[in-house]
Amino acid sequence: MKRSTRKLTKKIIYQILALLLIAFLFLPIYQMLITALRPADLPWKSPASLFPEKITLQNFKSAFDLVPRLPRYLLNSFIYGAGVSIVSLLVAIPAGYAIARFRFRGRKPIMIFVIYANMFAPIMLLVPIYVIMKKFGLVNTYLSVILAGSIFTIPLSTWLVTSYMQTIPKAIEEAALIDGCSEFSVIHRIIIPMISPAIVAVLIYAFITGWSQQFILALTLIKSDELMPITQGLYQFFSRSSVRWNEMMAAILMSTLIPVALFLVVQKYIVRGLVSGSIKE
């Protein structure tokens, strides 16, 4: 077999394996979609069918009838996700600038700690987070979930900003300082516009991570029904004797539209922000 033929065969095999993996990963999402579009009065079959017998949009309307506060829960989730994004960015930009531009003792250990801190799962720190929030009187507020969620997004956000800043020539900032700009003006007028891909990557990463961590954090920090995120609100589709699967799947699909839409709009900036540069000394 010729080398070119072997190379083509290997490429085809890899592509087939990749497609099988993608199909396997998307199978639960597809099953959720056909369940949301399936009439609620149809009997369930075992095993479940991979193709819808009938299609209806009634479940989406019924979801709002069963849980009238569903829009409120979606709004709360958006507030939590957006808040985590903003806090992460406000910390990551000055921290990333300091680590990338200044040489000081302990710089390397700090970067190692930043990466290591990202390994902690929210449930591991749930008790100390609750104690701190209660001490400051923040329990059952938007700020409690936002600050708690930011703890787990700031490390990687700082690392991304630092990596991107190290690809920017320092001579640009030095020229601005010679022209009379202050350090703050350099960051505000020069650095931030130049690292916009990294900023977008941080915003979307922090938003999606903050969105996915809302359930475990809100379960401990939120007591009011008015402040519940969508992940907690979905429990209202459960009753003592049954689960409204069709309506719940419709509600879940609606709740995923916000992060998916944001990701699709700015995906090219995310890729650019994630792959641009690496930690350099």
| 207 and 238 fall within a common domain | yes
Full residue range of the structural domain in which residue 27 is found: 3-56
Q: Within 10 A of 90 (CB to CB), how many other CB atoms are there?
A: 13
Q: Of 263, 218, 259, 206, which is closest to residue 91 (Cα–Cα)?
A: 206
Same domain, residue pair 136 and 218: yes
Q: In terms of domains, do 33 and 128 share one?
A: no
Tell me the C-alpha distance between 21 and 19, whole Å: 5
Task: Say which amino acid occupies 81.
Answer: G
What is the total count of domains within the chain? 2
- 72 CB contacts (<8 Å, ≥6 apart)? 226
Q: For position 277, what pLDDT does the model report?
A: 47
Do residues 106 and 195 share a domain?
Answer: yes
State the pLDDT at residue 276.
54
- Measured distance CA(47)–CA(44) in Å, rounded: 9
Q: How far apart are CA 158 and CA 90, in angstroms?
A: 10
Same domain, 166 and 219: yes
Using the Cα atoms of residue 171, residue 177, residue 180 and residue 185 in order, give the sign of their dihedral: positive
Residue 281 is assigned to a structural domain of this protein:
no
What is the predicted pLDDT for the residue at 270?
Answer: 62
Residue 171 within a domain: yes
Structure confidence at residue 7 (pLDDT): 81
Whether residues 238 and 191 share a domain: the answer is: yes
Domain assignment of residue 168, yes or no:
yes
10 and 22 belong to one structural domain: yes
In this prediction, residue 90 carries a pLDDT of 93
Give the pLDDT confidence score for residue 175 in this predicted structure.
83
Query: Among 20, 37, 56, which residue terminates a domain?
Result: 56
Whether residues 14 and 142 fall in one domain:
no
Residue 162 lies in a domain: yes
- Give me the pLDDT at residue 120, please: 74
In a domain, 180, yes or no: yes
Q: Are residues 7 and 108 in the same domain?
A: no
Q: Any alpha helices (H) in the chain, and if so which ranges?
A: 3-36, 58-66, 70-101, 107-117, 126-135, 142-165, 170-178, 183-186, 192-194, 196-212, 214-221, 230-233, 245-275
Among the listed residues 206, 221, 223, the one whose alpha carbon sits nearest the alpha carbon of residue 161 = 206
**How many whole angstroms separate alpha carbon 221 and alpha carbon 215?**
10
CATH of the domain at 193: 1.10.3720.10
- 105 and 196 in a single domain? The answer is yes
Are residue 175 and residue 41 in the same domain, yes or no?
no
Residue 128 lies in a domain: yes
Say whether both 21 and 97 belong to one domain. Answer: no
Would you say 176 and 185 are in contact if contact means Cβ atoms under 8 Å apart? yes
Asked whether residue 280 is domain-assigned, the answer is no
Neighbours of 229 (CB within 10 A): 28
pLDDT score of 81: 92
Establish if 46 belongs to a structural domain: yes
Assess contact for 278 and 163: CB atoms under 8 A: yes
User: What does the pLDDT read at residue 281?
Assistant: 42
Q: Which of 19, 38, 56 is the last residue of a domain?
A: 56
Final residue before a domain boundary, out of 11, 35, 56: 56
Per-position pLDDT tens, the chain of length 281: 567 788 888 889 999 999 999 989 888 888 888 888 888 777 777 676 777 778 888 888 888 888 888 899 999 999 999 999 999 999 998 888 888 887 777 777 777 777 777 777 778 888 899 999 999 999 999 999 999 999 889 988 888 888 888 888 888 877 888 877 777 788 778 888 888 888 888 888 899 888 888 888 888 899 888 899 988 888 878 876 678 888 888 888 888 888 888 777 776 666 665 555 444 44
Global confidence as pTM: 0.81
